[in-house]
Amino acid sequence: MTIYKFMSPARIEPDTTMYSGKFAARLRALREKAGLTVEDLVKATGIPRGTLYNWEAGIRMPPIDTFPILAKALSVKVRTLLPKETDDD
């Protein structure tokens, strides 16, 4: 289910707010399970430290093209990072 928020009369964007918190928790848990620090993930992915912190804090969502990079560094499948329809709010 996609929820939309209205930015202006001519612009509608998907509301990723409810997914950002779930993604943040999932990313941090997977990183910790892999035994990696944020610095380790920076080195493995080339993604800037501040960007990873924003993702783990739920401030921002990563672009979809970074999911394969994260999945490889965390040794998981890409779909493990994606929000699930069955996730509870």
In a domain, 86, yes or no: no
Domain range holding 29?
A: 15-74
d(CA 31, CA 8): 37
Q: Where does the pLDDT of residue 4 fall: very low under 50, low under 70, confident under 90, or very high at 90 and above?
A: very low
In a domain, 89, yes or no: no
Q: Which of 48-57, 63-72, 78-87 has the lowest mean pLDDT?
A: 78-87
Give the model's pLDDT for residue 22. Answer: 85
* Angle ∠(30,57,23) on CA atoms, nearest 5: 45
Q: What is the total count of domains within the chain?
A: 1
Residues 54-77 have pLDDT tens digits of: 999 988 889 989 999 999 999 999
Give the model's pLDDT for residue 18. Answer: 54
Q: Where does the pLDDT of residue 27 fall: very low under 50, low under 70, confident under 90, or very high at 90 and above?
A: very high
Domain with 56 in it: what CATH number?
1.10.260.40
In a domain, 58, yes or no: yes
